[in-house]
Amino acid sequence: MKTVVHITGARPNFPKAAPVLAALDQKVDQMLVHTGQHYDDRLSRVFFDELALPEPDLNLNAGSGSHATQTAAVMVGLEQVFTERRPDLVVVYGDINSTLAAALVAAKLGIPVAHVEAGLRSFDMTMPEEVNRRVTDQLSDLLLVTSADAVGHLAREGVAAERIHFVGNPMIDTLLTHLDRFDEAAARKQHGLDGDYLVATLHRPSNVDDPAAVRQLVSVLHEAAERMPLVIPLHPRGRAGLEKAGLDASSGVKLTDPLPYTAFLGLVRGARAVLTDSGGVQEEASVLGVPCLTMRPNTERPVTITHGTNRLVTPHGVLPALDAVLAEPPATRPAPLEKRPPLWDGAAGPRIAEVILSWLAR
Ligand code: UD1
């Protein structure tokens, strides 16, 4: 049997990897590595419990640090694993530092790489994720893409067409699998909500690291919360900066720790709108049919604008956009299949498995 090693490291990787591991079960010899980039139970453990992911075969405990420190720690750990195991394929997910580290190590050892969620581009090289995506794609043998625009980006960067496979979005497989467990009534009860409410998440360096930017956003969030209660699950990154900039539980703001997967999506499902700078939330809100205001100048996921509920907003534009959303009649929830991005249908995992299996058998 061929050996496939999957590399995961941080919260957004887990819902992407789960359907791929499930679809390849018994068909290849699989090994799941957790790099330990996220080590907090609330960003890691809870996902393994909820998504029925197998226990990682190995945790590298790479932990936090500067980009170089973290990427290097993952590389050193993986070099040993890949050298001992000599897998037939390494599968990497998304755009985090662990993704890039794994692709670099595998490529140098001559081990083929498959990149799930290849080809997304924000064209903003100040985002660490954009650097990670571009390099990972150049090093990958199989580019598994979630949206048609990604095919175009890869083609323009010189990637041969036979390496690019438009397979859909495995994170949406996970969302649709667990849809019945996204309980908005439970979320209301947990956060003491009755009536309409908003949800916000904020963790990008560009929003939470610069004191002036974060002060402006915090004041916008407090103003938004005057319209209706606003629940903010706080990612550990940026929590201190947000609180220093004045974010507190006043004027309708409800602060919570990071939430488990189903609790978070239950909360989003019932929300009037979501304000975010996350990549994944733009996709999840679009499929749930919940209006999404993305507090960023760009998105690598434009399909959530053309085929979803997402719109980009500047800090000044948040409140006018929110008022426009609140004036609109609510959309159907979840979004019906024909209103979702193409191939976001719950079958991306099996399509990815098919591509991988026929590639391994070539
Ligand atoms: C990482 C990804 C980002 C993704 C995000 C999802 C990179 C460059 N960034 O960002 O693309 O959107 O995950 O959550 O890979 N921390 C904890 N506990 C943890 C992990 C981190 O407290 O378990 C804190 C530490 O202070 C750490 C900081 O968060 O220094 C940043 O963690 P890191 O893994 O570097 O990046 P994220 O901001 O989580």
pLDDT at 251 over 90: no
Mean pLDDT for 315-344 is 95
pLDDT at 252: 95
The residue whose C-alpha atom lies closest to atom 2 belonging to ligand 1 is 96
**Residue in 34, 38, 115, 203 annotated catalytic:** 203
pLDDT higher than 90, residue 330:
no
Residue owning the nearest CA to atom 22 of ligand 1: 236
Where are the CATH 3.40.50.2000 domain residues in the chain?
Answer: 3-168+345-361, 179-339
Closest CA to ligand 1's atom 12: 278
Within 6 Å (CB) of ligand 1, which residues are found?
10-12, 37-40, 43, 64, 70, 95-97, 128-129, 203, 235-237
Centre of ligand 1 to C-alpha 328, Å, is 35
As a whole number, mean pLDDT of residues 126-136 equals 98
250 SS3 class: coil
- Residue carrying structure tokens 């099996």: 350
pLDDT at 224: 98
* Cross-strand pairs, 30: 4
pLDDT, residue 208, reads 96
Considering only CA atoms, which residue is closest to atom 21 of ligand 1?
38
Ligand 1 mean position to 240 CA, how many Å?
14
What average pLDDT does the chain have?
97
Check whether 331 has a pLDDT greater than 90. no
Enter the pTM of the model.
Answer: 0.97
From ligand 1's centre to the CA of 326, what distance in Å? 32
- 95 pLDDT exceeds 90? yes
- What pLDDT does 341 receive? 97
pLDDT, tens only, 265-276: 999 999 999 999
From atom 14 of ligand 1, which residue's Cα is the shortest distance away?
11
Report whether pLDDT(209) > 90. yes
| The pLDDT of residue 306 is above 90 | yes
Instruction: Tell which one of 96, 259, 284 to mutate to probe ligand 1, the residue whose CB is within 8 A of the most ligand atoms.
Output: 96
Is 316 considered catalytic here? Answer: no
Q: How far is residue 126 CA from its own chain's centroid?
A: 18
- Tracing tokens 């909500």 back to the chain, one arrives at 193
Average of per-residue pLDDT across 226-235:
97
Q: How much distance in Å is there from the Cα of 62 to the middle of ligand 1?
A: 12
The secondary structure of 6-54 as a DSSP string is EEE-STTHHHHHHHHHHHHTTTSEEEEEE--S--SGGGTHHHHHHTTPP
How many other CB atoms are there within 10 angstroms of residue 203's CB atom?
18
Question: Taken in order 237, 242, 248, 253, is the CA torsion positive or negative?
Answer: negative
Place of tokens 């625009």: 149
Rounded mean pLDDT, 144-159: 98
Domain 3-168+345-361 CATH assignment equals 3.40.50.2000 = yes
Q: What is the Å distance from ligand 1's center to 91 Cα?
A: 21
Cα 140 from Cα 104, distance rounded (Å) = 9
CA triple 81-42-222, angle to 5 deg: 135
Q: How confident is the model at residue 24 (pLDDT cuts 50, 70, 90)?
A: very high
Query: pLDDT over 90 for what percent of the chain?
Result: 98
Residue 43's pLDDT band (cuts 50, 70, 90)? very high
Out of 2.40.37.10, 3.40.50.2000, 3.40.50.1820, 1.10.1740.10, the CATH code matching 179-339 is 3.40.50.2000
